[in-house]
Amino acid sequence: MANLVIDIGNTYTKIAVFKRDELLVYKQFEGIDDAVINAFFKEYAISKAIVSSVKKNESQAWQTTLAAKVPVIFFNGKMAGELNNQYRTPDTLGADRLAGVMGAKTLFPQKNNLVISGGTCITYDAVDAAGNYFGGSISPGLNMRYKALNYYTDGLPLVGADESFDKQYGDNTVSAIRSGVQNGIKYELMGFIDSYKKAGEELNIVLSGGDSIFFDSLLKNSIFAPCVKIEPFLVLKGLNAALYINND
């Protein structure tokens, strides 16, 4: 029997099927409906499901369809499992952030882990070797920064990310924007990592989210590169772990 794991983000809905800890399939959608749910049940013998969403007060017909098929857990900030969650307002803690930290603790137990998730926003969340989670940081994501420069100015064009850009500065408007955004994120990443490394003897840097590979390219020549691990399915793995913690 398999688990259905649904992660509803700000931009995309990510759905995975697990058999215990083994990821069988992953698919990404711009939305979700009954047809999407039914397609997974036609192909896999699903026995239980977990749903996580960063969207507030979302109640859709597909949730009723899913709940009629199998037991469903709706993940929230209070389902920390073995984590010592010391976030002062657990009700406001983003489900994706908590699931990412739980995923890191599951994959790298008894390690100090800094989870950096690159999506609509960039989030930084750390869990220490003892399982203590105190909080983290949220900043604008890669595409959000590019769009903001265009939206809030009259003269700056809308520019997209360029992984091949590796200059310290730009010599025209487009490259100057890329320098500001991409070097800005690079220095931000390095600053957060350096801060956390000073607080812990050994640190795993776990990159997740849609921009994880791009962030890895920004850090590839840094002193932190040997500590970096890419886990694009970290949140889904954390949710799968939460399904067992809260359902067994």
Query: What is the helix (H) or strand (E) element at residue 123, kind and residue range?
Result: strand 121-127
- Where does the pLDDT of residue 225 fall: very low under 50, low under 70, confident under 90, or very high at 90 and above? confident
Non-local (6+) Cβ contacts of 52 within 8 A are 6, 7, 8, 74, 75, 95, 96, 99, 235, 239
Q: What does pTM read for this prediction?
A: 0.89
Q: How do residues 66-118 score in pLDDT, each as one tens digit?
A: 999 999 999 887 787 778 998 998 888 888 899 999 999 999 998 999 999 99
Q: How do residues 187-216 score in pLDDT, each as one tens digit?
A: 999 999 999 988 766 899 999 998 999 999
**CATH class of the domain comprising 84-237:** alpha beta
> Active-site residues: which are they?
96
Which CATH architecture fits 2-74?
2-Layer Sandwich (3.30)
Distance CA 70, CA 49 (A): 7
Give the start-to-end residue ranges of the domains of the chain.
2-74, 84-237
Q: Kindly report the average pLDDT of the chain as a whole number.
A: 91
**pLDDT above 90: residue 61:** no
The DSSP letter of residue 137 is E
Q: How do residues 106-131 score in pLDDT, each as one tens digit?
A: 999 989 999 999 999 999 999 999 99
**pLDDT above 70: residue 220:** yes
